[in-house]
Amino acid sequence: MSAAASSMDLSKQSNTVYSEEFIRRVHQFNWQDRLFAFVTFSFALLVMIGLGGILLSLIIESAPVFKQYGLGFLAGTKWSPADDVFGAVIAVYGTLVTSGIALLIALPLSFGIAVYLTESCPLILRRPLGTAIELLAGVPSIVYGFWGLFVLAPLIQEYVQPGIILLNIPMFAGPPLGIGVFTAGVVLALMVVPFIASVMRDVFETVPQVLKESAYGLGCTTWEVVRSIVLPYTQTGVVGAVMLGLGRALGETMAVTFVIGNANRLSGNLFAPGNSIASTLANEFAEADPALHIPALFALGLILFVISFLVLALAKYMTSRSSFKPR
């Protein structure tokens, strides 16, 4: 009995020791977890503070121009720093038109690339081609702009614009200059194709293979599978990919500055030189008058910030939705 009692006492003591050690480790882990959570939260908070600081500084610095013109700045159609007359319409119009041209060109190209990589491309070529498309996204924008100015613009001036001008379409009129809104849109299209194609490819790969195999087993062609299975299943993600490309096109600076012509005039002619928000900021900030010119540039930056934020937020929402249902 004494031996049994002593063994029970030893067991209780060991359990007590183990329990205390376990509690100590739990407290230690809880302290470490709290510290880790605090550090990571601080990093996330720094990002939010930085974003809020940028927005606040844009609002404060642009206040003089809104005090001078009010909301009329957003509707002003003249931008003349020499006369201290500033309106945002020219730059906003150029930004939206060049981005629209870019999407019109890039969307079918990106869709075709994504469909080929996911449906028709041989396995031995799928990874190299996909990697090559992704590497195009890493090419600096100034390289695209340099190539657009010295290679693409002369080609458009010599081979594209003369034939289109003969059609007597007001949208494509005037002398063949090579540079202009249309050329800027083409360069932007080449820049956003890798982004849209990569996202579309990833979205198309989420389609269950059994759905596509069943359709092929019923005798459907590749286009019928894409139209009836892939697109209905991934339509939200496809729209998100397009919005991501639009967000990239809206904020592009150097490439557009090289080829858009940098003319502060409003024209419905796509072959005419124009301007965008980003190119206006790049061209004029160094010599801007602090009285009203710099606040006007800050106001353009605020407009671009708001537009880009809304577009990217919508793209994030669209790509994050997972409720894809085939029709």
| DSSP codes of every residue in 176-225 | --S-SHHHHHHHHHHHHHHHHHHHHHHHHTTS-HHHHHHHHHTT--HHHH
pLDDT in tens, 74-89: 988 899 888 889 999 9
How far is residue 41 from each of residues 36, 142, 199, 310, measured CA to CA in Å? 8, 36, 29, 25
What number is the average pLDDT over the span 47-62?
93
pLDDT digits (tens, 9 = 90+) for 225-272: 999 999 988 888 898 889 888 988 998 888 999 999 988 988 889 999
Does pLDDT of 321 surpass 70? no
pLDDT of residue 323: 45
Assess whether pLDDT exceeds 80 at residue 278. yes
Read off the tokens for 26. 């739990």
Mean pLDDT in residue range 276-293: 88
What are the backbone dihedrals phi and psi of residue 203, each rounded to the nearest 5 degrees, phi first?
A: -70, -40
> Which residue, among 192, 297, 172, 204, has the nearest Cα to 242 in the 3D structure?
192
166, with CB counted inside 10 A (0-12, 13-18, 19+), is exposed
Q: pLDDT-based confidence at 163, cuts 50/70/90?
A: confident
First-to-last C-alpha distance (Å) of the chain: 78
Mean pLDDT value across residues 280-285: 90
Q: How confident is the model at residue 38 (pLDDT cuts 50, 70, 90)?
A: confident
- Is residue 280's pLDDT more than 60? yes
Alpha helix positions (H), the chain = 2-69, 72-75, 89-115, 123-136, 141-147, 153-155, 161-165, 181-204, 209-217, 222-225, 231-251, 254-259, 277-284, 293-320
Contacts for 189 with CB less than 8 Å, ≥ 6 apart: 101, 102, 103, 104, 105, 106, 109
pLDDT tens-digit series, residues 165-205: 888 888 888 888 899 999 999 999 999 999 999 999 999 99
Least confident of 33-37, 39-43, 243-247, 271-275: 33-37
Query: How many CB atoms within 10 Å of residue 219?
Result: 7
pLDDT of residue 10: 45
Q: Token pair for residue 94?
A: 């150029």
- Whether residue 6 is predicted with pLDDT greater than 60 in this model: the reply is no
Percent of the chain with pLDDT over 70: 88
Predicted pLDDT of residue 253: 86
Look at residue 313 in the predicted model and tell me its pLDDT: 85
Write down the mean pLDDT value for the chain: 86
